[in-house]
Amino acid sequence: MAVEQPTRPTLADRIYDKLFHNYIWKSIFRTGYPNTPRNQMLIVATNVFLHLHPTRIHRTHVKITHTYCLGGLSFFMFLGLTVTGILLMFYYVPSVDRAYLDIQNIQTNVQFGQLMRNMHRWMAHAMVILVFLHMMRVFYTGAYKPPREFNWVVGVILLVLTFLLSFTGYLLPWDQLAFWAITVGTNIAGSAPILGPKTRFWLLGGFEVGQESLIRFYTLHVIGLPLLAAIFMAVHFWRIRRDGGLARPL
């Protein structure tokens, strides 16, 4: 009985195997299969999406009641606001002649426009509440104590940025509620000693709420404040990793 001889791989097969099974594969996946504790830690440490997480955590950190995932939910709200905000920007022009009409058009004529605006609004409210609750949880569990004092300061800055994001978005619909709310808010800022009048003038771009105010609030709402929030969030997450992960229960 004749035995079939194995065929030798061609030059193209060898090049393909070398290129894709060795070089490219190993350049993307630099660790082995996560079947050992060492490989599992290496995968977390070398992955751009996972490296912010610690390679090991304490058993108490797995419980949902330890943090109630308030920080993660706050970040999820920020991502949702970013997506819905970008979609709304396609149909909104920051002009005193068009802003109110554009909001009405989004709610009545744009497909899923009212859904997008309502999601953006309610997620903004939810983010303010969740960030505040997250700060309270950190305070009451003592997670701000050494060596996490710096991260507590970063968290306070993020809380202020969250309030400012909500405040600057209030003017954009350009209705009566928005107009008088910003008027009252900027008058409160203007009553501060020494820098109050200058702060009010800088916020409004003049002495009263108008086109310059709308442009400034729009620029802060869609560019300036989100960029600052994203930077401080990255620092916040990095400091959690550097400080040894989540704080353990007292």
Best CA proximity match to 48, nearest among 61, 30, 75: 30
Owner of token pair 């079947």: 35
Beta carbons of 135 and 155 less than 8 angstroms apart: yes
Quote the tokens at residue 46.
């070398």
Classify each residue of 2-38 as buried b or exposed e, where b means 16 or more C-beta atoms within 10 Å of its C-beta.
eeeeeeeeeeeeeeeeeeeeeeeeeeeeebeeeeeee
Q: What does the CA dihedral 221, 227, 233, 239 come to, rounded to 10 degrees?
A: -150
Tell me, what's the pLDDT at 83? Answer: 97
Give the least confident one: 7-21, 43-57, 160-174, 236-250.
7-21
Q: Retrieve residue 13's tokens.
A: 């097969």
User: What is the predicted pLDDT for the residue at 21?
Assistant: 58
Element (H, E) at 176: helix 176-190
* pLDDT above 70: percentage of residues in the chain: 87
Are the CB atoms for 163 and 181 separated by under 8 Å?
no
pTM equals 0.83
pLDDT band at residue 100, thresholds of 50, 70 and 90?
A: very high
- pLDDT tens digit sequence for 190-199: 999 999 999 9
pLDDT at 66 over 80: yes
pLDDT band at residue 22 under the 50/70/90 scheme: low
- pLDDT in the model for residue 250: 62
Secondary structure of residue 8 in the 3-state scheme: coil
Mean pLDDT, range 72-78, rounded to an integer: 96
Least confident range from 57-61, 113-117, 142-146, 164-168: namely: 57-61
- Mean pLDDT (whole number) for 75-87: 97
Q: Output the pLDDT for position 20.
A: 56
| Residue 18 confidence (pLDDT) | 61
Q: What is the pLDDT of residues 155-183, one digit of tens each?
A: 999 999 999 999 999 999 999 999 999 99
The structural domains of the chain, ordered by start, are: 66-241 (1.20.810.10)
pLDDT per residue over 224-243, tens digit each? 999 999 999 999 998 988 88
